[in-house]
Chains A and B, each alone.
Chain A
């Protein structure tokens, strides 16, 4: 490393005290400070907003007086701002999330501060997480199961609710198993039978009894699913909203109940952690605005791993070729300029290439030669996770080539010559001396490539990412790995939630949470790369060659 540039520092420094041009120095300082502030501010903003989306906030019961009529509303204050009315006066406006979309339509209401006459935080207010219509904010009245009714004042109420919630969880899991796995398996078999019959490998008289058996099984499973569904709606939760409307819903649709106003600091922290956990492991619900992002995390991870599987050997081989084997002449210089250039080619261009080459050219060829019986429905000739990974591998290739070349170049000449002098062949020298020495540098390159790949969205929109993938690219159905499937991705999830969602306002907490997750992944990968690089620098700085 160069020594620091400190013009004016040191024992003979007088220029640091000169007044000439000093304001300009301050201007440059302001530039740096602004840049640093922007970077830090962004991280802090995402961190705060993302973390806040998990924190359970208190439910306020607000009395409003408008045109001499008093109304009551209960909800969570989500935003406060100033709004200018048409007559030019400023109003303090608050945005309240009141939930109950099924009862009152809009989930968000805007109130003028001056209309509010009273605000309380009643302990009995509950936030219900539901399968449909988003959260509800109500007070509990009773639980009705068949003929029995447990009122909210009854001490047995809490236990009964807990029991019903548990049973609901169990039944939903069962239902998922029947509907997704078992019925899915039957319909897949039927589909295969159809294809075989069309292809002529199975005779019609042979297929008919099999079809009858499969259809009978299908009917049985459907009846089973119906039975579970009726069990799910056996008990009813009765609640009342702040404006005295009754909410009745099956406990099977109830995912969770939380009373934020009763919970203390630790209770809220526990709820936060529980929400973070659910966010990480659950599937999305309601057009992705509720539930978790597990499929998106899974898709991002699989795509990034497959991408590094492709990019690592090719990147390293290309770099070894450029640095160790190719004759250093005009050609290599041109190639190096091109590789550098490739790093500057817009990512969307890679997406366009991936669509033309991988999806339509290679994928179409694979379909015609291996999956001709399924045409015209494409198998590989349509965007999918394999093509997405390959496209991103190409996109990140220059990152890895440049990093690896740098690492190879940093291995001192003396070491190489020593290896050759001991009688090692060229490959032995590379394999036993150069590669181990440059491994941390190569690793840095791989990590940087992964960070770049994980955060990239634009090319994926063309080659395989979707809003909602019905199944994961790796699962328990043979052949277990499905490289042709479309997948979900954290970055695209952000775009989709923020810009394609029916209710962008309701999706905002989810977007911030997802953004936080994505940023964390990228920043951690980058930090790892930087730390490894710093360690290498130290090692080479102290090495005695």
Chain B
């Protein structure tokens, strides 16, 4: 005890354990936090990309049960949920087979008892089987399914069969050899062939529903038209379209006839020869009834669609796509009732799911049997194939994004109804059979166009300002102007967008010539002012300190602006006169002149307005970074140049600009990044039409605006939703590449200046 008074306890100099422990804890915490933040940053890319990946996956197909049908089925169908198959064999009964259990039961068709069926066909959209008999009668029946909850909590599918009236054909003789039925819901069209060979006869029946006040209407014959004389050759394949208005008939001479039915009767609109003089092996309409898939000799598969060749021409068929060849056998075909996917088989038992929009094969594989019939269910979740002996297999299809793919997003696609392959974005349409158009290209183009016009205005202003501020501006003004620019950079873009769309656009709409005049006058007057100023006597110039040019030029600029504004209408009346379509007189109006002179549109919300307003967002960004780069050029260099007698502009041109060039370049790239990603100005000032034109006087739709406008309404997980995410990834990639390059450049510049 006594010794402690002599020497201090060595423990006094030890750091307290709590401190050490706390230090370690904090160090650990901060490391974790820091790394977590950095991970979060990369998580952004991960989560956005995760939503996009499923777009580029093909379909997955898995076998889901098999069953045995009676052999030699003529027609194979299935219910909406893919649980119960039905087959028709040409008698007075329909066979239903539950695939899960294999149980089979029959339904007899009323009115079919004494019919000798010689031809039949199936329309999966209406679940209707059309039949023809040996004595020249045409009839049909519809299969309906109802889902009822059963006792065990599951569902039971209850089928029902409804026979429809018979119609006796007036034209031709002999038995019916082919029949095809199309139904628009209001009218039906039945194409019927009687007899074979040279005596064969083709008639088209038009049927209509007479609507009663109560209950279902009565099916009546609107007319029977003998079209044999129109064909001029023996018909081989008949296909009525799903809209009940048209039929395609492939004839023995290889020509396919396009017949259109309307109130006036049936007329031949077009004859096309898809495979020279060979008859197509198969010919089937796709979902929507606008396109048909034709298979030719050797299994060449082609899509023919209705479109207008020119603005006022009639809608006729034309070849829009070809698919890989299948082989010589007649392929089995089944179209989806949800989208433009179709199933087709090749000659050695393989089956492929193809999508007509992108032309991609979604899935290819073996089904284990030699398919003779195939059908896809209404939800697009299953397809069924059956062989000639009645072996049936069910396959489950998982293909949530059939419209997607590299070609659909970035390639030119020939959409239905279009007159050529185009880049187009149109995500939603009015009807169920709308073909969505998901090309990223018009949006990327729009982003680049908006950015280009923004940069065209901002870059000169920002760089000139940066040079003056870094090289000539006295320090006391610089202290005010730099923060002013910083505040300008942080202006909410929604305010800029609103000003552009609601305030500036209406003003500039009638004053385009004035704006153009000002754009030319401003730089010229500034140059002229400088030219005249330095010719003033030195005594006058000495009164003004160097670096004051920025306010000396102010009245000159004001004068130039005023002159331009006034001169605009004069310029308009000299240069931009055109004939007024309303009165026929001559009128000086740029808004009318521009479309007449260039053939492109003039819109109120155009790139001119956009470019100017984007300046408020982009100029401060470029200015700040470029100014920093210019200010950081070592003073020894500029002073040396000045000491050697270079004029002040000479110093800027030969020393300042070359040394800071990398920094200026990085400023431009960061400005580009800011402009590409700008959203609110783009949404509010561009009109948002996805067009691909460089026209200064119309708008665009940018990637960013597209996301902001459409994402709140896209349903989660849909192709549309994921396509918008893809847009975000593209946007991210564009700015990421630009910013990284800019950052690397800036770092290199810093190194170089250190060496200097």
- A interface residue numbers (CB < 8 A to B): 2-9, 13-40, 42, 45-46, 82, 84, 86-88, 313-315, 317-318, 320-322, 324-326, 335, 337-342, 344-353, 355-357, 360-361, 394, 397, 401, 423, 425-428, 430-431, 448, 451-452, 454-458, 461-462, 491-492, 494-495, 498-499, 504, 508, 511, 515, 518-519, 522-523, 526-527, 530
Is there contact, CB below 8 Å, between B23 and A427?
yes
Could you list 14 examples of A-B contacts with CB < 8 Å? A8-B642, A22-B531, A26-B549, A28-B467, A42-B488, A321-B34, A326-B34, A346-B677, A348-B708, A351-B707, A351-B711, A452-B490, A458-B683, A530-B487
In the complex, chain B residues whose CB is within 8 Å of the CB of A19: 534-535
Is there contact, CB below 8 Å, between B23 and A425?
yes
How many Å lie between the Cα of A469 and that of B494 in the bound state?
20
Q: A29-B550, A495-B494 are in contact. Are A38 and B527 (CB under 8 A)?
A: no
Minimum CB–CB distance for A271 against chain B, Å: 25
Minimum CB–CB distance for B494 against chain A, Å: 4
In the complex, chain B residues whose CB is within 8 Å of the CB of A28: 464-465, 467-468, 471-472
Minimum CB–CB distance for A280 against chain B, Å: 18
In the complex, chain A residues whose CB is within 8 Å of the CB of B530: 22-27
- B interface residue numbers (CB < 8 A to A): 15, 19-20, 22-23, 26-27, 29-31, 33-38, 40-44, 47-48, 50-51, 460-465, 467-475, 478, 481, 483-488, 490-495, 497-499, 501-503, 510, 522-523, 525-531, 533-535, 538, 541, 545-547, 549-554, 556-557, 580, 582-583, 585, 587-589, 615-616, 619-620, 623, 631-632, 635, 638, 642, 645-653, 670, 673-674, 676-680, 683-684, 704, 707-708, 711-712, 716, 724-725, 728, 731-732, 735-736, 738-740, 743-744
In the complex, chain A residues whose CB is within 8 Å of the CB of B467: 28, 31
Minimum CB–CB distance for A169 against chain B, Å: 33
Minimum CB–CB distance for B369 against chain A, Å: 41
Minimum CB–CB distance for A258 against chain B, Å: 27
Is there contact, CB below 8 Å, between A87 and B583?
yes
Is there contact, CB below 8 Å, between A2 and B674?
no
In the complex, chain B residues whose CB is within 8 Å of the CB of A34: 461, 465, 522, 557
Q: A32-B473, A42-B491, A356-B51 are in contact. Are A530 and B498 (CB under 8 A)?
A: no
Is there contact, CB below 8 Å, between B464 and A31?
yes
Is there contact, CB below 8 Å, between A455 and B522?
no
**Interface residue from A37, A337, A401 paired with B740 (Cβ < 8 Å):** A337
**Interface residue from A35, A425, A518 paired with B462 (Cβ < 8 Å):** A35
How many Å lie between the Cα of A317 and that of B31 in the bound state?
8
How many Å lie between the Cα of A425 and that of B26 in the bound state?
11
Is there contact, CB below 8 Å, between B19 and A425?
yes
Is there contact, CB below 8 Å, between B481 and A36?
yes
Is there contact, CB below 8 Å, between A35 and B678?
no
**Interface residue from B535, B546, B677, B712 paired with A461 (Cβ < 8 Å):** B712
Q: A9-B546, A46-B495, A349-B728 are in contact. Are A337 and B743 (CB under 8 A)?
A: yes
Is there contact, CB below 8 Å, between B465 and A32?
yes
Minimum CB–CB distance for B397 against chain A, Å: 25
In the complex, chain B residues whose CB is within 8 Å of the CB of A313: 33
Minimum CB distance partner of B651 in chain A = A7
In the complex, chain A residues whose CB is within 8 Å of the CB of B487: 39, 522-523, 526-527, 530
Is there contact, CB below 8 Å, between B40 and A394?
yes
Is there contact, CB below 8 Å, between A357 and B461?
no
Is there contact, CB below 8 Å, between B44 and A350?
yes
How many Å lie between the Cα of A26 and that of B497 in the bound state?
32
Q: A22-B534, A87-B585, A341-B736 are in contact. Are A317 and B34 (CB under 8 A)?
A: yes
* Highest count of chain A CB atoms <10 Å: which of B41, B486, B497: B41
How many Å lie between the Cα of A161 and that of B353 in the bound state?
78
Is there contact, CB below 8 Å, between A426 and B23?
yes
Q: A5-B470, A347-B679, A494-B495 are in contact. Are A24 and B649 (CB under 8 A)?
A: yes
Minimum CB–CB distance for A540 against chain B, Å: 16
Q: A36-B481, A325-B30, A427-B23 are in contact. Are A15 and B708 (CB under 8 A)?
A: no
Minimum CB–CB distance for B669 against chain A, Å: 9
17 A-B pairs besides A8-B648, A347-B677, A511-B502 with CB distance below 8 A are A4-B474, A21-B647, A29-B553, A38-B616, A39-B488, A318-B33, A337-B744, A338-B41, A346-B677, A348-B731, A455-B491, A455-B494, A455-B495, A458-B680, A495-B680, A499-B501, A515-B498
Minimum CB–CB distance for A37 against chain B, Å: 8
In the complex, chain B residues whose CB is within 8 Å of the CB of A88: 585, 587-588
**Interface of B, helix, strand, loop or mixed by DSSP:** helix
How many Å lie between the Cα of A347 and that of B526 in the bound state?
37
How many Å lie between the Cα of A377 and that of B623 in the bound state?
49
How many Å lie between the Cα of A353 and that of B499 in the bound state?
29
* Highest count of chain B CB atoms <10 Å: which of A30, A339, A456: A30
Minimum CB–CB distance for B439 against chain A, Å: 19
Q: A33-B551, A425-B15 are in contact. Are A519 and B735 (CB under 8 A)?
A: no
Q: A8-B546, A21-B648, A345-B677 are in contact. Are A84 and B498 (CB under 8 A)?
A: no
Minimum CB–CB distance for A508 against chain B, Å: 7
In the complex, chain A residues whose CB is within 8 Å of the CB of B465: 28, 31-32, 34-36
Is there contact, CB below 8 Å, between B684 and A495?
yes
Is there contact, CB below 8 Å, between A457 and B493?
yes
How many Å lie between the Cα of A349 and that of B678 in the bound state?
11
Is there contact, CB below 8 Å, between B677 and A84?
no
In the complex, chain B residues whose CB is within 8 Å of the CB of A29: 468, 472, 526, 549-550, 552-553
Is there contact, CB below 8 Å, between B494 and A491?
yes
Minimum CB distance partner of A20 in chain B = B647
Q: A6-B547, A36-B484 are in contact. Are A348 and B704 (CB under 8 A)?
A: yes
Q: A26-B526, A33-B554 are in contact. Are A321 and B616 (CB under 8 A)?
A: no
**Interface residue from A84, A314, A337 paired with B589 (Cβ < 8 Å):** A84
Q: A15-B647, A30-B523, A88-B587 are in contact. Are A498 and B501 (CB under 8 A)?
A: yes
How many Å lie between the Cα of A341 and that of B545 in the bound state?
41
Minimum CB–CB distance for A85 against chain B, Å: 10
In the complex, chain B residues whose CB is within 8 Å of the CB of A511: 498, 502
In the complex, chain A residues whose CB is within 8 Å of the CB of B495: 46, 455, 491, 494, 515, 518-519
Is there contact, CB below 8 Å, between A356 and B47?
yes
Is there contact, CB below 8 Å, between B732 and A345?
yes
Minimum CB distance partner of B525 in chain A = A30
Is there contact, CB below 8 Å, between A314 and B37?
yes
In the complex, chain A residues whose CB is within 8 Å of the CB of B631: 2, 5
Q: A23-B528, A26-B553, A356-B48 are in contact. Are A344 and B673 (CB under 8 A)?
A: yes
Is there contact, CB below 8 Å, between A397 and B37?
yes
How many Å lie between the Cα of A72 and that of B464 in the bound state?
55
Minimum CB distance partner of B632 in chain A = A2
In the complex, chain B residues whose CB is within 8 Å of the CB of A315: 37
How many Å lie between the Cα of A465 and that of B266 in the bound state?
57
In the complex, chain A residues whose CB is within 8 Å of the CB of B615: 38
How many Å lie between the Cα of A321 and that of B465 in the bound state?
38
In the complex, chain A residues whose CB is within 8 Å of the CB of B30: 317, 320-321, 324-325
In the complex, chain A residues whose CB is within 8 Å of the CB of B48: 349, 352-353, 356
How many Å lie between the Cα of A9 and that of B642 in the bound state?
10
Is there contact, CB below 8 Å, between A20 and B649?
yes
Minimum CB–CB distance for A295 against chain B, Å: 17
How many Å lie between the Cα of A253 and that of B369 in the bound state?
78
Is there contact, CB below 8 Å, between A15 and B646?
yes
In the complex, chain B residues whose CB is within 8 Å of the CB of A15: 642, 645-648, 650-651
How many Å lie between the Cα of A42 and that of B535 in the bound state?
35
Minimum CB distance partner of A29 in chain B = B549
In the complex, chain A residues whose CB is within 8 Å of the CB of B541: 17
* Highest count of chain A CB atoms <10 Å: which of B20, B461, B510: B461
Is there contact, CB below 8 Å, between B497 and A495?
yes
In the complex, chain B residues whose CB is within 8 Å of the CB of A462: 707-708, 711-712
* Highest count of chain A CB atoms <10 Å: which of B37, B470, B503, B619: B37
Closest 10 CB pairs of A and B: A346-B677, A31-B464, A321-B34, A21-B649, A26-B530, A455-B492, A23-B530, A30-B526, A458-B679, A317-B33
Is there contact, CB below 8 Å, between A349 and B638?
no
Is there contact, CB below 8 Å, between A16 and B546?
yes
